[in-house]
Amino acid sequence: MTPMEVNNFSDPSGQWKDSLQPALVFSFLIIICLEACIWVRSHGQRRSPPGPFQWPFVGNALQLGQLPHLTFCKMAKKYGNIFQIRLGTRNIVVLNGESTIREALVKHSTEFAGRPNFTSFRIISGGKSIAFGGYSALWKAHKKIAHSTLRSFSTINTKTQKLFGHHVVSEAKDLIQVFLRLSSHDQYFDPSNECNVASANVICALCFGKRYSHDDLEFKAMVGRNDKFGQTVGAGSLVDIMPWLKAFPNPVRSLYQSFKDLNVEFFDFVKDKVTQHRQTYNPEVTRDMSDAFINHIEHGAGAVDGLTKDYVEVTVTDILGAGQDTNSTALSWIILLLVKYPDIQIKLQEEIDLVVGPNRLPCADDKIHLPYLQAFIYETLRYTSFVPVTIPHATTCDVVIDGFYIPKDTVVFVNQWSVNHDKSKWINPEVFEPGRFLDEDGTLDKNAAYSVMIFSMGKRRCIGEQLSMLQNFLFTAVLLQQCSFHAKPKEMPTMACVYSLSLKPLPYRISVTARQGQQARDVPA
């Protein structure tokens, strides 16, 4: 062994130091890279949605204007389809565009199935409402029973569906007589009140097996109560986001008290009717929806799932309140569009004359044979988008969507208007064109119809969708078969609207004439 070799063997520090330094540097770099990856991954998942500057106390409330859905569309162009605003004390995530909304409400349906813990939501039916109640096992059982019951009243060729169709057609016939009388006394009139009454009567007949005279005091009080509810619901929303408004006298606090009182009065009205049904209940006979809910909730699956008997009143209240407002609003828009586009009205009448003829009234079975009428209704829903933003959602747990982290209990607004007026999805969405819903062979394009977003989607999709669509169809078909609608010269209705529970057209005036050769027949049993 040479001296050099002996020296290195006995004191190898030189070689060890030479190899240690690169190893330490390499290990350090590895650790830095790992830390960087972990930081990027964790912070990437917790990246909050962007949004506009938030002012103290009010946040972005003053920026929204009277039609917030249009403001949301403008904000989406700047910040993307997911952005965040602040209203009062609450952070709000706003979802726009079909792909983003579908990812949230369908792909992540459970995560977005909650409702905010709003004061106003707890007031409505004591927080047990299907529409406004929180997401839970009890809520799921409640919704399942309500949905299956409603579906039985809208499924073609069932006894309950024929009963519902009978109610709608009967009411349409009475509505025609009222329209013709108003046209003869005062040639032009605003149809909105009569649409409210007709829709309320259909829902009352569905829920209680009874329709009312238009002059019935109890019925007029119920309709008026629902109208006032729409006028005061905004006060409940303001208190939800700015609870300090309840602390001192102000106009919002007064309206909020009215909102609370109206909820109590409306629930008491329903409770009285349901109590009468319990006293005459026969499990062998389903007279109406109250009977159906008593059967399912008190004597069927609901009792097993833990639903108490007051859920009958809660369910009927949901259907009565929501059904009256949305269906009356839809009918008001339908009539407005008929007078605004008389050439479309004539084309619809020609289709009805060809398929149904003059010797009987339209029925649910005619729906599949009247594709242009169906297309007209879908285009009305898309074009008006009269439910532009859904009832607020809330996240049930932390969730990541489109790369943005949204924590549990975040309030979420879903902008349906952005879907129905998306220029990348619809050709000239600002134009009213029913033909966009027809295939080349003239049949209904079901894919296009499915793309219209008015009833939301996912776990919070409206359970009354099928019933509502059937009612819209039957009202429109009967009215057009029997009547023609005319705008007042030089007062052509506009699409201007006001926001309450839904987008409602501003008052407009029409006249109605009976069509020659048409005569309203008796409603088939």
Helix/strand/coil (H/E/C) assignment for every residue in 242-302: CHHHHHCCCHHHHHHHHHHHHHHHHHHHHHHHHHHHHHCCCCCCCCCHHHHHHHHHHCCHH
The token pair at 29 is 């770099």
The Cα angle at residue 221 between residues 218 and 223, in degrees rounded to 5? 110
Taking the C-alpha atoms of residue 199 and residue 202, their distance in angstroms, rounded to an integer, is 5
Strand duo 411-414 + 393-394: pairing? antiparallel
Distance of CA 356 to the CA centre of its chain: 32
Spell out a b/e string for 47-77, using b for 16 or more CB atoms within 10 Å of the CB, else e: eebebbebeeeebbbebbeeebbbbbbebbe
* 409: phi then psi, degrees, rounded to nearest 5: 70, 20
How far is Cα 203 from Cα 188, in angstroms, rounded to an integer?
27
**Which backbone phi and psi does 417 adopt, to 5 degrees?**
-55, -40
What does the alpha-carbon distance between residue 374 and residue 438 come to, in Å, rounded to a whole number? 9
The CA distance from 177 to 519, in Å, is 11
Task: Decide the pairing of beta strands 497-499 and 503-505.
Answer: antiparallel
Is 462 annotated as ligand-binding? yes
Distance of CA 121 to the CA centre of its chain: 16
Q: To the nearest 10°, the Cα dihedral for 422, 427, 432, 434?
A: -110
Is the separation of the CB atoms in 246 and 253 below 8 Å? yes
Residue 268 near residue 186 (C-beta atoms within 8 A): no
- Residue positions forming the annotated binding site for heme: 462
